[in-house]
Structure formats: structure tokens, C-alpha cells
Amino acid sequence: MGWLWGSRDNSSTPNDNLDPSLREFLKREAPSGPKPSLPAKPVPTPLESPKSTEPAQDYVAPAVPPQSQFQDGRYAHLWKNYTPQHILDDRGKSEQDKLRDIVESFNDRKAAIGRAALENCALEYLAQYECFQDPNITQMMTLCRDESKKFNRCYEIQAKFLKALGYLTMDARSPEQDEKMQMHADKLYQQMKEQEALIEKAKDQGQPIPKFESVLSRQNVARAVAGKPLSAHPTTQVDTDRDDEEDIWSRIKPASRAEYEKKLAGLPVADQEIERKALLGELRAQAGISKQVEGTFIEERINRMKRREAGKETVGDTIKRLWGWG
């Protein structure tokens, strides 16, 4: 078949197969001169002084933003006046736009907690789904009550663990950090199930009920964050760590605090600690939002004062000033 496809010469190049006139045109139009090269990596050049007896300091590369491909300092002069896009976007936003962004970000966090808890309870959800799709006689008579109860409890507890770990706060975090927090919540939930199994076993065998430290104690959370195995062995010490609870409660009105404490007192003892830590997580998130809103109002007030001093006061600025907004 060589006569059909032609013989293949391994020594030939792709240019040899081109038409001579086309090859001559490409050769004529090709750019000439030396090829541009990237600047060399900066090399530290310590200055030596015979009179100086101080130890030489380590070389520090010029600072460049994370958007730069060359983190060793090349092209640092080009990035000197760089401003991230999100900062430029914020400069053009009004007070209403900034407040809307804060509310939307908080709502997105609340929705993210639901998605994370649902992912952690995927097995329980699958068992409930399969029960509804193809139930046996017992499941049909109970309407999959056991499967639904397991899934609902898993979902609620996982969501509370995420709140207690700070998932609801508005702190800047990467997706990897959110994922780690989600894994910590699931690890703590699995430990809680182990403790409940040991308590049920002790009740069935008529043995003394073991006492465990709180699943959300500082020690347990530290073990989960560090990736260490969580011990489910009983201990005689119950965690009494209140973290910064008093600092958080000091920002809440006494009437609201009394209402919260009454609600906690009506829950079973085993659920009080989890509910308390979840509530503290929500209060931390609300305090963070209040700070952001307060900062937005202060910034907007300063801008109004600057416009008034410059003689560029708007009608809205005049109305707010007459209403006592500063």
C-alpha cells in the first residue's frame, strides 16, 4: 500500500512537505532577532561593610500579590500599584449595596450549613430514600419512621455541630477550610454515636452508666481539628469549659438571655450542651454581622461629612443630616 499513501521518510521535517512558495513566504515573514526571555530570578546581593559587626540579614524578595505567577519577586515593579478587583468593585457600591451584600452573604452561609449537613448524612438519607422506594412489610406499616428519624436527627445534630465550630461566621475562609470544618463536624458526630452505644450497652447489662466529656469540649474539638483519633472511653470528668460564653452573653439583652436559658432548661440533659454551643455559634455570627453593618454606617457617615465639607452635599445627605444621622 506504499504506492497509495506514499513512503514515509523519518529524516524529513514538516517543513519539507510544504509547497516551496509557501515555505519561502513563512521564512520571509518569520520574526528575526533574538527571542525575548523572562527576567532572571533576583539574586540576593548582600552589602559587605568592614566596619559593621552585625550579622547579615536574610534576603527578602520584593512583595508581590498572590495573583502574580512569579512569587520570587520578578515583575514586582509592575504589581506595585495593583488593586484587587473585589476592592475596586466595593469602591463603586453604595451603602444599600454593601448592606445587601452582608445580608446575602449571611443567607448563603446558612444555606451552606444545610448542604454540608446533608452531605455528612448521605448514608442516612440514602437509607430513607430506599425505604420509601421499596419498603418491606415492617417499613410499610411504620411509614419508614425509623429511617426518617435517623436521618432527621443526623441532619439536625450535624447542622448544630457546624454552627458550634464557627461555620456560620463571616470570616474569610477558603473552600478547603470549610471542607475541613465539615469533616470535623462529622467526626464529632460519629464519636457521639459511639458514646450513645456504650451508654445503651451499659443500661442493657445493668452496669453503671458511664459519663463522658462533652463531644464539643475544647479537648475533643482540638483532637478533631488536629486529625487525631477521638477516644470514646468513659471518663469521670465532665467538660466545664465555657469558652468566651460570658463575653458573648454580655452583648445580649438580659430579657433575651433569660428566654434562651429557659429554652435550654426545657431540653433533655444530653442535648443541652450541644444546643448551647450551637446557640453560641449563632450569636458569634450575629455579632460579626453587627460589626460589619456598624462599620458600613460609619464609613457612609464619614463620606457624607467629606462631601459636605467639599460643598458637594447631595439631597439625600441633607435629609439624613436633618433627621439626625450625622
What is the DSSP secondary-structure string of 228-272? PPPP----SPPP---TTHHHHHTTS-HHHHHHHHHHHHTS-HHHH
pLDDT at 27: 76
pLDDT at 99: 84
pLDDT at 244: 66
Contact status, residue 106 vs residue 289, Cβ threshold 8 Å: yes
pLDDT at 236: 42
Which domain, by its residues, includes 103?
93-292
- Establish if 272 belongs to a structural domain: yes
- Establish if 34 belongs to a structural domain: no
Tell me if the pTM is above 0.85.
Answer: no
- Establish if 131 belongs to a structural domain: yes
- Establish if 302 belongs to a structural domain: no
- Establish if 40 belongs to a structural domain: no
- Establish if 309 belongs to a structural domain: no
- Establish if 43 belongs to a structural domain: no
- Establish if 141 belongs to a structural domain: yes
Low-confidence ranges of the chain (pLDDT < 50): 1-6, 48-52, 232, 234-240, 243
* Total number of domains in the chain: 1
pLDDT at 112: 93
pLDDT at 122: 95
Alpha carbon distance 286, 110 (integer Å): 12
